[in-house]
């Protein structure tokens, strides 16, 4: 059963946080970003290109999001779910869990993406901004969700000035385990 959802924009550190939680608690996890990246790889395109394609073909998101919601609602779901919208799905379906949103500034996100994937900082910043705009528009059209509305989350962490251990400590303390 889902105990915690982890959400945030690309480069916010959600994958790192999930890894630390899974290791500390021995929990299973499902990464919605991995599902999206696998679909991009299956199509032979970049994540940014799939995001842009999804803008024109809303069935891409509907199919991936439907799969994620099914997995979240299953009796044998992993304890940790990570995706941009999993906190919203948990909130809307009444799943009683800690819903975490990790936020960082655009500049910090671009810096982290550059460190993870390489490339030029300005290019990483441009790609991150475009992906955020594309995603926000799709989620608004598809589900009436505004990614700037953090009301479904019961824990919002500004991680600009925090390292991965500090973010983990905040979540750990809020899990009360």
| Torsion over CA: 138, 89, 17, 153 (sign) | positive
> Percent of the chain having pLDDT more than 90?
51
Architecture of domain 4-172: 3-Layer(aba) Sandwich (3.40)
Confidence tier at 106 by pLDDT (50, 70, 90): confident
Q: What is the mean pLDDT of residues 25-50?
A: 88
Interval 56-68: pLDDT, tens: 888 988 888 888 8
Q: What is the mean pLDDT of the chain?
A: 90
Contact between residue 18 and residue 3 where contact means Cβ atoms under 8 Å apart: no
Interval 126-151: pLDDT, tens: 888 888 888 888 889 989 999 999 99
Can you give the residue ranges of every domain in the chain? Answer: 4-172
């Amino acid at each position: 059963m889902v105990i915690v959802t982890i959400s945030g924009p690309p480069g916010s550190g959600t994958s790192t946080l999930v890894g630390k939680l899974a290791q500390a608690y021995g929990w299973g996890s499902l990464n919605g970003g991995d599902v999206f990246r696998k679909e991009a790889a299956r199509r032979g395109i970049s994540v940014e290109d799939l995001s842009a394609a999804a803008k024109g073909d809303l069935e891409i998101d509907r199919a991936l999001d439907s799969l994620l919601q099914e997995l979240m609602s299953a009796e044998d779901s992993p304890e940790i779910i990570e995706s941009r919208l999993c906190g919203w799905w948990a909130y809307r379906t009444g799943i009683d869990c800690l819903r975490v949103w990790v936020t960082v500034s655009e500049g910090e996100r671009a810096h982290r993406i550059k460190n993870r994937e390489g490339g030029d900082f300005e290019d990483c910043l441009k790609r991150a901004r475009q992906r955020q705009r594309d995603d926000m528009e799709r989620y608004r059209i598809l589900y009436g969700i505004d990614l700037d509305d953090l009301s479904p989350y019961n824990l919002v962490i500004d991680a600009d000035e925090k390292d991965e251990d500090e973010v983990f400590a905040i979540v750990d303390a809020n899990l009360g385990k």
